[in-house]
Structure 1
Amino acid sequence: MAGLRTLGPKAAAALDEELMSSGAFSIDQLMELAGLAVSQALYTLSPPTKTPNVLIACGPGNNGGDGLVAARHLHHFGYRPTMYFPKQGKSELYQRLRTQLEQLKVPFTDDFLSAMGKSDYVVDAIFGFSFSGEVREPFPAVIKALAESKVPVLAVDAPSSWNIEDGPPKEGPGVGYQPTALISLTAPKPLVKWFKGRHFVGGRFVSREIAEKYGFDLPPYQGSDQVVEIGSQGEKL
């Protein structure tokens, strides 16, 4: 069966710009919708009755913001999230998202490895589609742990350290990293051709006109769902 068309890095960046200009979306709105989709994907994978303890690793950029939003929703869904957020982005948005979690008494940890040992699931919201170059501290050890983990992992938009077009790294901390599940935001990225796990698409706010302009497909969302499960390579199930 034909797969959903993928969205390359230049088109993805241009799409974000258009959504925030002529589309009239704020970054807060886009992050909120992305984080809600991430939380629903995790609920679909494994509800809190099965895997209550979720560790959410957040990077300093928008991918980390998606993780912070997802944590708030997961708390309200009945999970017990713990946050690993060692490098907070400079925007006051990240401080607001952090404060919301602190008001819910969601704990933050500096010890990723210890927290992972007590977790039933991990959300990888470290690096998204804009990642390139080398993995900088303190994330090499974290990504190496994700690659070696027996705890299931849901990656947000891209497995951290993967190149958006060329897939998994040939060397460095992400070698062998193949998360349990991936949620592609708005559309699958070219890296999905190397992905082998369960695959979701989320981000239910784009018009058909915009999808055609940027050359990707809207997945067949059902009812009130914010996510659709598709094949690992982007094919419709």
Structure 2
Amino acid sequence: MALRTLSAKNAAALDQELMSAGAFSIDQLMELAGLSVSQAVFKLQPLNKGKRILVACGPGNNGGDGLVAARHLHHYGYQPTVYCPKQSKNELYQRLRKQLEDLKVPFTSDFRTALQSTDHIVDAIFGFSFSGEVREPFPGVIEALRETKVPVLAVDAPSSWNIEEGPPKDGPGKGFMPEALISLTAPKPLVKWFEGRHFVGGRFLSKEMAEKYGLDVPKYEGLDQVVEVGVEGAEKL
């Protein structure tokens, strides 16, 4: 049976409730999300298959998740490079960048060149709050993601996809189907169009909160912060 999905509207409401009634800070939620992303990379791209990870970050919370993931990947022994052309001036994002700079994690402004010397890509450009037009410099980046043969892990949504309606019918994201997707907290409706490997991350929901939003909490194993589920959201056995 497929896991129930979380609409963009309810995802935003759940985040707000987690930070109020749930007593989580945005720092905690971003840290947990980024940790989940890093563990998904570890499962998809073991160190012995290539350590170079290119993390593409957008200006919103999805990009913050990518910055956190890059830090964890560095500590696992990977060699992350971060592309973050429109980073927020928000104090949290500045701290996340400083943490990476202290670790000597390189930042690049040339995505296509960095793409030529990486083993795996994390697409943390746009998440569940994305809607409307893809603005510069991201159209070219998404086209490169669509065209590359390097495996891509999308965070919460393949960038440019509509959360409710799936892949775009035109524009730079037309035909973009990454090899893997990690849905944070719960799958979004777009998963019905997704054809790659699918993970769920977000091992922090209480039973009461999950029930309130009509969500299924998959069975996480051991220390794992992620669990792989079927392409339609059904938990893999």
Relative to the length of structure 1, the TM-score reads 0.99
Aligned to 2:94: 95
Instruction: Find the counterpart in structure 2 of residue 169 from structure 1.
Output: 168
Q: TM-score, normalised by structure 2?
A: 0.99
The CA deviation at 1:105 is: 0.4
Q: Partner of 1:201 in structure 2?
A: 200
Matching of residues 106-125 of structure 1 within 5 Å: 106-125=105-124
In structure 1, distance between residues paired with 2:21 and 2:208: 13
Matching residue of 2:40: 41
d(CA) in 2 for partners of 1:100 and 1:48? 22
What percentage of residue pairs aligned between the two structures are identical? 74
Correspondence for 1:182:
181
Report the alpha carbon displacement of residue 46 of structure 1 after superposing the two structures with TM: 1.3
Q: Secondary structure at the match of 1:122?
A: strand
Give the alignment's Cα RMSD to 1 decimal. 0.5
Aligned length: 236
Q: Which amino acid aligns with 1:203?
A: G
- How far is the alpha carbon of 1:165 from its aligned partner? 0.4
Q: State the distance in 2 between where 1:52 and 1:69 align.
A: 17
Paired AA for residue 232 in structure 2? Q
Deviations 1:104-154 (A, max 9, x none): 000000000000110100000000000000000000000000011100000
- What's the counterpart of residue 126 of structure 1? 125
Compute the displacement of 1:51 (Å): 1.8
Runs of 4+ in 1 over 3 A off after TM superposition: none
Q: Deviations over 1:43-77 (max 9, x none)?
A: 01111221210000000000000000000000000
Counterpart residue type for residue 190 of structure 2: L
Counterpart position of 1:226: 225
Q: Which amino acid aligns with 1:212?
A: E
Q: Given the alignment of the two structures, is residue 63 of structure 1 paired with residue 56 of structure 2, yes or no?
A: no
Distance (Å, rounded) in 1 between the aligned partners of 2:164 and 2:50: 32
Cα distance, 1:232 vs structure 2: 1.1
Q: C-alpha distance in 1, partners of 2:89/2:61?
A: 11
Aligned equivalents of 1:201, 1:175: Cα separation in 2: 24
Whichever residue aligns with residue 50 of structure 1, its letter is K
Between the aligned partners of 2:114 and 2:125, the Cα distance in structure 1 is: 16
Query: What residue is the counterpart of 1:21 in the other structure?
Result: 20
State the 1:224 CA deviation.
1.1
**What secondary structure is seen at the aligned counterpart in 2 of 1:15?**
helix
CA deviations 1:137-182 (Å, max 9, x no partner) are 0000000000111000000000000000000000100000000000
1:229 Cα deviation after fit: 0.3
Q: What is the SS of the residue equivalent to 2:174?
A: coil
Q: How does 1:135-146 map to 2 (within 5 A)?
A: 135-146=134-145
